[in-house]
Amino acid sequence: MNVFLDIETIPAQPEKAAKEEIRSSIQAPATMKKAETIQEWHEGRGKYAGVKDEVVEKAYRDTSFNGAQGQVCSIAWIVNGTLDSVSTDGKSEEDVLRYFFGSISKAGRDRPPYFIGHYVAGFDLKFLFHRAVILGVNFSANPGFRLPFGGRHGKDYYCTQTAWAGFNGKISQNNLCKALGIEGKPGDIDGSKVWDFVKAGDIKRVEEYNRHDVETVEKIYNRLNFR
């Protein structure tokens, strides 16, 4: 059973506590040798005003790529031509995972899911596995399935990036869309802005973006397979 998949994630929560932890552990650049200069950098004095804040902000936002720290805020998928999605709009992250896993189990009682996505094993499946383990949401029961992020492209899952660029090759989904003449990401939002939209209370826009992305994945897959 083909399952086209795309997820959206946000940084570690709560934001204040996560940033305080980063700030307390982050080091000044290794090129700095003088104690006075290092102190200025940490305190944000002189020419270093705001520099550490920027480093902390980037490190914080990067936690959205790590399933041990970040969280899932939206999942979109297509099964048998039907698009579905779920987000943290009125739901917890645990609710989102349970809904998604339940939907996939129900759709494929006798057909295990074959996940298809852009960098789907390196990010989506791995992130979902980590969050499921941390939150105790069992996807392997009644009936179960696997999240085979450690498997092989073409056998355990299908990665549109690998199909185009080869093993260890890279190309963004948007750039692949441009190469294939497929409509890419909408102008007002991309993955780097998801957290900004969520913070602003516009999770619905993130879910719409997520749905558009998974529809794009299906189009890419069809082109790559001459369909």
| CATH code for the domain in which residue 84 is found | 3.30.420.10
Q: Name the nearest CA neighbour of 13 among 54, 58, 73.
A: 73
Q: Are residues 97 and 43 in the same domain?
A: no
Task: Give, in order, the Cα–Cα distances in Å from 194 to each of 61, 204, 207.
Answer: 10, 11, 10
What pLDDT shows up at residue 108? 72
pLDDT tens digits, residue range 160-216? Answer: 999 999 999 999 999 999 999 998 887 788 899 999 999 999 999 999 999 999 999
Tokens of 62: 């990067």
> Roughly what angle, to the nearest 10 degrees, separates helices 51-62 and 35-43?
70
In this structure, the number of other CB atoms found within 10 A of the CB of residue 172 comes to 15
Residue 69 falls inside a structural domain: no
What pLDDT shows up at residue 109? 74
Tokens of 25: 């552990």
Q: Are residues 87 and 198 in the same domain?
A: yes
pLDDT at 144 over 80: no
Residue range(s) defining the domain that contains residue 112: 76-224
On whether the CB atoms of residues 161 and 121 are closer than 8 A, the answer is no
Q: Are residues 153 and 45 in the same domain?
A: no
0.85 cut: is pTM over it? yes
pLDDT at 71 over 80: yes
Q: Are residues 161 and 51 in the same domain?
A: no
What pLDDT shows up at residue 143? 65
On whether the CB atoms of residues 115 and 128 are closer than 8 A, the answer is no
Number of domains in the chain: 2
Which of 64, 98, 122 represents a domain boundary (last residue)? Answer: 64
- Per-residue pLDDT band for 142 (boundaries 50, 70, 90) equals low
Q: Are residues 27 and 134 in the same domain?
A: no
Which of 42, 64, 86 represents a domain boundary (last residue)? Answer: 64
What pLDDT shows up at residue 81? 94
Alpha-carbon 88 to chain mean position: 14
Nearest 5°: phi and psi at 9?
A: -130, 160
pLDDT at 46 over 80: yes
Residue 39 falls inside a structural domain: yes
Q: Are residues 24 and 122 in the same domain?
A: no
